């Protein structure tokens, strides 16, 4: 198993919001990164996302121009999975679909060296099931970054049935080395965050739909009454209503009716109102 001191290059599978955020966090912390997605347009979008984010950090004087430039130069984009062959550690951050993730992990198992650890950024799916697609289940772990990755401090380390203690420690060390604070969860549906968060968001949506309060008062009441930074509707928009729906449906299947998605959430997703990323959700957003 490749140790913490041997890791110089991260592979990131997926160049979307989470993927390019993870790539940026690693690059800003001094790691070289190979970021892969299936289409060149997706890769380019991820690189542009990193560029925009680093520019905002520069504008706020949270990174110097030299630091931002160095981070940009550490990230290489590709559509070829073989370009991850020399990576020392790989994080997958693609769509929340078990079959697709298992296919990717089976391919990674054939691509990268046998002593390389593999992590998944899944927020709800079984680490053990994903790991079983490989011949290195003891080297597979959940490394669930929060969105947006460059700003959020927390990372959830999720331990599969066969994950080794060595890989658990490596995951904590790597997350902390890119500036994050970790907590640990067993491989149970939803882990810590989504198991508690999704019912909270769902009940906020139901209460709003039933006329308990306006959306603004719903969110204001929860922020001021419980000292959270966002209320349930605002947070759902921020996460992505489609992401919330996928998480609730997975948890509903695993844990029963207490996780049943609200009808209003389904209706908004069907209408294409996905939250901040689409410009409309429970609230309206600019370009």
Catalytic residues, by residue number, are 123, 144, 156, 194
Q: Per the annotation, does 240 bind a ligand?
A: no
Q: Per the annotation, does 25 bind a ligand?
A: no
∠ CA 18-173-83, nearest 5°, is 50
Q: CA-CA distance, 9 to 113, in Å (whole number)?
A: 13
Q: CA-CA distance, 111 to 108, in Å (whole number)?
A: 5
Partner residues linked to 12 by β-bridges: 35, 91
Backbone dihedral region for residue 190 (phi beyond 0: left; psi -120 to 50: alpha; all else: beta): left
Q: Per the annotation, does 17 bind a ligand?
A: yes
Of residues 43, 38, 37, 33, the one with CA closest to residue 11 = 33
Q: Per the annotation, does 230 bind a ligand?
A: no
Q: Per the annotation, does 207 bind a ligand?
A: no
Q: Per the annotation, does 204 bind a ligand?
A: no
Q: Per the annotation, does 123 bind a ligand?
A: yes
**Alpha carbon 11 to its chain's center:** 15
Q: Per the annotation, does 147 bind a ligand?
A: yes
Q: Per the annotation, does 279 bind a ligand?
A: no
Q: CA-CA distance, 233 to 153, in Å (whole number)?
A: 22
Instruction: Reply yes or no: is the peptide bond before residue 239 cis, omega within 30 of 0.
Output: no
Q: CA-CA distance, 92 to 109, in Å (whole number)?
A: 12
Q: How many Cα atoms occupy the beta-carbon half-sphere of 119 within 13 Å?
A: 30
Q: Per the annotation, does 96 bind a ligand?
A: yes
Q: Per the annotation, does 37 bind a ligand?
A: yes
Q: CA-CA distance, 202 to 255, in Å (whole number)?
A: 15
Q: Per the annotation, does 16 bind a ligand?
A: yes
- Could you tell me which residues are annotated as the binding site for NAD(+)? 14-19, 37, 96, 101, 123, 147, 277
Query: Residue positions in the annotated binding site?
Result: 14-19, 37, 96, 101, 123, 147, 277
């Amino acid at each position: 198993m490749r140790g913490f001191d041997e890791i110089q290059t991260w592979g990131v599978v997926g160049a979307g919001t989470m993927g390019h955020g993870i790539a940026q966090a690693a690059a800003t912390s001094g790691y070289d990164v190979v970021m892969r997605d299936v289409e060149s347009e997706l890769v380019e979008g991820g690189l542009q996302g990193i560029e925009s984010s680093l520019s905002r950090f520069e504008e706020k004087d949270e990174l110097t121009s030299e630091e931002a430039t160095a981070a940009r130069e550490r990230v290489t984009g590709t559509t070829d999975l073989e370009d991850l062959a020399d990576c020392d550690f790989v994080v997958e951050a693609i769509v929340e679909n078990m079959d697709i993730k298992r296919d990717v992990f089976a391919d990674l198992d054939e691509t990268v060296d046998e002593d390389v650890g593999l992590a998944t950024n899944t927020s709800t799916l079984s680490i053990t099931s994903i790991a079983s697609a490989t011949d290195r289940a003891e080297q597979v772990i959940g490394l669930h970054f929060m969105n947006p990755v460059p700003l959020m401090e927390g990372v959830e380390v999720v331990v599969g049935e066969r994950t080794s203690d060595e890989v658990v420690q490596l995951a904590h060390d790597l997350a902390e080395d890119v500036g994050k604070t970790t907590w640990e969860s067993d491989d149970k549906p939803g882990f810590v965050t989504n198991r508690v968060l999704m019912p909270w968001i769902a009940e906020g949506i139901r209460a709003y739909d039933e006329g308990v309060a306006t959306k603004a008062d719903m969110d204001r009441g929860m922020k001021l009454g419980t000292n959270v930074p966002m209320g349930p509707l605002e947070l759902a928009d921020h996460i992505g209503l489609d992401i919330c729906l996928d998480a609730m449906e997975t948890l509903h299947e695993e844990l029963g009716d207490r996780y049943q998605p609200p009808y209003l959430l389904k209706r908004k997703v069907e209408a294409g109102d996905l939250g901040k990323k689409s410009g409309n959700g429970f609230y309206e957003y600019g370009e």
